[in-house]
Amino acid sequence: MDAEQFKTVVDKLDKITRLLAVQTVKGMENEQDKVELLDSMGFRPFEIDKLLNKSSGYASAALSNIKKKQKPLQQTPAPAPQPAGTPTTQTPGATVP
């Protein structure tokens, strides 16, 4: 296969990939869900913008908002386990034996 044939094959595969991506998100109403799905499929933000006919930077902003919403859920640390017999709260002025 020469370089010209290779380029043609790659171009056709690219078109098929874009068509499948558009078909995949076609029935989805929420734009952020579309962006999140396409991102999980490996599309870059500028590619998602083109696929969804959005202005440049739309997908980047949507992904940023999605990550901000997920961050507080992920950063909530679990309480540290207390050793047996250790009071969980202390009353002011109380002494611990």
Which of the residue ranges 7-11, 44-48, 88-92 would you say has the lowest mean pLDDT?
88-92
Q: Is residue 2 part of a domain?
A: no
Q: What is the mean pLDDT of residues 72-83?
A: 63
Q: What is the pTM of this model?
A: 0.64
pLDDT score at 65: 92
- Structurally, the chain folds into a number of domains equal to 1
- DSSP track, the chain: --HHHHHHHHHHHHHHHHHHHHHHHTT---HHHHHHHHHHTT--HHHHHHHTT--TTHHHHHHHHHHHHHHHHHH-PPPPPPPTT--SS--TT----
57 within a domain of the structure (yes/no): yes
The tens digit of pLDDT for each residue in 34-75 reads 999 999 999 999 999 999 999 999 999 999 999 988 876 555
Domain that holds residue 47: 29-72
